[in-house]
Structure 1
Amino acid sequence: MPPQPPDETGRNHAVKRYVTRTYGGLPRYLVLNSGHFMGPRWRRTTRFTRHLIDDATTITDAELDALLAFEWRSRLTAAWLIGVDRRERFRARLGDLLLASEVSYSGGAYCFALARFGTHTDAEILTAYLDRYLPRTDLHYDQPAALGALLHLDAHLGTHHAARFTEPDGLWAAWAEGVGHLGHPSDSPAELRRWTDRQCEFANGWERP
């Protein structure tokens, strides 16, 4: 369970309602982090999805701010809710958190939200992240998620931001080799883009009119 913040901040209530609510015995943040909700078992029920859509539209900006200022579980959940509801006013905040890379696990959710926003500005944020962290072959942060999101945006926008990273001798190949992921099928650029595509298709398929 995540650590509980002081009640007076209002964050304790937000954590209980949005982050640790359980589905199939698993807290929401864990389901989101695992991607289980996009698998066959979870597609047989709409409970998790409907609650996610409902909460994404009803959570307040103040509650999102409180979650983003807390630990990784809360930040991950908040970013998913922001992405599902496409609250673009949080773009700069998510970009700052992604570039800072202060905590583990939540960065992939920031990348999902930026992919959902779908603009050139989001592509620039992801490009800046990759420029900063792909040369760091000693660090395995959210480079795969960022590249997948950028490739998704390139396809959506008709741009080629990711091309210089994915060329044969580019930064992606050097980073993947440095961290021991070169040749890993799930870390190929095509698979990384496909994963972001699936995330966005999931959100697109359930968003409110």
Structure 2
Amino acid sequence: MRHAHEDTELRALVSRYVTPGRRYRKLGGGVLTMPDPAYDRFARALGEDAGRVTPHEIATLLEGGWRERRTAAWLIAVSCRTEFRERLGELLLDSEVCCAGLAYSVALARFGTPRDAELLAAYLDRYLRRPDLGYDQIVAMGALVFTGLNLGDDYAARFLAPGGLWHEWLREAPRVQRTTDPATHLSLIRRLCAFAYECAELRERPILNHDPSQQG
């Protein structure tokens, strides 16, 4: 793992993409509650950076800590850079850092292919068996259900069946609500994927000037 405080290249990328406006803290469910016009400004800026960032810069950010990886995954999701699919799947499966799994799951759900479903299922296969490990079983399940619905294939069925790994994990995992419903997290993934799409759309739209003093 690279650390921004001792890596000049990474530190420059953090200043450019991660910390402006404390972006890394807002990427997640919190962005959905941002008021207008702050929401529009945030989404447009993220869309513009997603179009501007280079593959090398993304790869470098993915070598950093959770802030860098979370931001990079969102830049990938917005720009739909499927060339990073396998790397995101690897990072999700390794679970080396906390606070980034939701971003990986959103990106994979945004790609939405059978391979993305396989990567999400691989994470669940490993970490539903280890209630003492992993951070992101719930959001990964939401992403898998979302992807399956879009593809018309129930990839999550074997986990959610009575007596399946999902129910075993819920019973054994500490600090998890025993009534956790995947539909709740499906809704979150759906809304975050829509946000990623909206960021990409805003990048292509002209900025409208609503200042009456500029009107003839």
TM-score scaled by structure 2? 0.86
Cα 1:140/1:6, change in 2 over 3 Å: closer
Runs of 4+ in 1 over 6 A off after TM superposition: none
Question: 88, 91, 102: which is aligned to 1:94?
Answer: 88
Give 1:198 shift.
Answer: 0.7
What residue in structure 2 maps to residue 196 of structure 1? Answer: 189
* Counterpart residue identity of residue 207, structure 1: A
What residue in structure 2 maps to residue 60 of structure 1? Answer: 54
Cα 1:11/1:44, change in 2 over 3 Å: closer
Give 1:177 shift.
Answer: 1.7
Secondary structure in structure 2 of the residue aligned to 1:114: helix
Cα 1:138/1:19, change in 2 over 3 Å: same
What is the root-mean-square deviation in Å for CA atoms of aligned residues? 1.7
Counterparts of 2:7 and 2:114 in 1: how far apart (Å)?
39
Counterparts of 2:161 and 2:105 in 1: how far apart (Å)?
21
Cα 1:45/1:190, change in 2 over 3 Å: closer
- Percent of paired sites with the same residue: 45
Deviations 1:125-146 (A, max 9, x none): 1111111110112124111111
Secondary structure in structure 1 of the residue aligned to 2:184: helix
Aligned ranges 1:174-189 → 2 under 5 Å: 174-180=168-174, 181-184=176-179, 187-189=180-182
CA contact (8 A) 2:31 2:39 kept: no
Question: 128, 134, 142: which is aligned to 2:128?
Answer: 134
What residue in structure 2 maps to residue 28 of structure 1? Answer: 23
What residue in structure 2 maps to residue 4 of structure 1? Answer: 5
Deviations 1:179-206 (A, max 9, x none): 242434xx31110111100111112233
Cα 1:52/1:90, change in 2 over 3 Å: same
Question: 146, 149, 152: which is aligned to 1:155?
Answer: 149
Give 1:39 shift.
Answer: 1.2
Pick which of 187-196 and 144-153 moved more: 187-196
Number of positions where the alignment pairs a residue of Structure 1 with one of Structure 2: 199
Unpaired stretches in structure 2, ≥5 consecutive residues = 205-216
Give 1:3 shift.
Answer: 4.7
Counterparts of 1:109 and 1:18 in 2: how far apart (Å)?
15
Counterparts of 1:88 and 1:69 in 2: how far apart (Å)?
18
Counterparts of 1:69 and 1:44 in 2: how far apart (Å)?
30
What residue in structure 2 maps to residue 82 of structure 1? Answer: 76
Counterparts of 2:131 and 2:113 in 1: how far apart (Å)?
28
Counterparts of 1:126 and 1:97 in 2: how far apart (Å)?
11
CA contact (8 A) 1:140 1:179 kept: no
Unpaired stretches in structure 1, ≥5 consecutive residues = none
Deviations 1:73-97 (A, max 9, x none): 1001000110111000001111111
TM-score scaled by structure 1? 0.89
Larger Rg: 2
Deviations 1:14-58 (A, max 9, x none): 101111111xxxx1111114x221115256541111100000111
